[in-house]
Amino acid sequence: MQPEVDPEASGLFPGSIRASGPVPAAPFLARISALYKVLEAPELYARRLARSLDRQRKRGDPKPHALPTASACRLRPELGLIATALPGLLGAALEGGDNSS
């Protein structure tokens, strides 16, 4: 004899009912579209980013900071190596000639 399923019950237990519905695809598609545009013309976007960083530096804004990836252990070894090294490489590249030490 099975207990009755309560449709109002919350949780992830067998027999519980979770609300479901359509997942909005627009934000994901917008990100993919933006990434595709950058991959089509990387030099154009690299120059655009360089100009933007130069303007920020001239205004005296703090330099951007790249945080390390928290879940790099889940990546394939080659990609994990790049993901863990990238924040340090970006930090060194953004230092430019402003290092007075």
Domain range summary for the chain, segments of one domain joined by +: 36-94
One-letter amino acid identity for 35? L
Three state DSSP letters for 47-84: HHHHHHHHHHHHHCCCCCCCCCCCCHHHCCHHHHHHHH
> Residue 41 has which token pair?
């013309």
- pLDDT category, 90, cuts 50, 70, 90? confident
User: Of 9-13, 17-21, 69-73, 78-82, which range is least confident?
Assistant: 9-13
Mean pLDDT calculated for residue range 59-85: 81
Alpha-carbon gap, residue 93 to 101, rounded angstroms? 16
The answer to whether the CB of 73 falls within 8 A of the CB of 94 is no
Alpha-carbon gap, residue 37 to 33, rounded angstroms? 6
Would the pLDDT of 81 be above 80? yes
The overall pTM is greater than 0.85? no
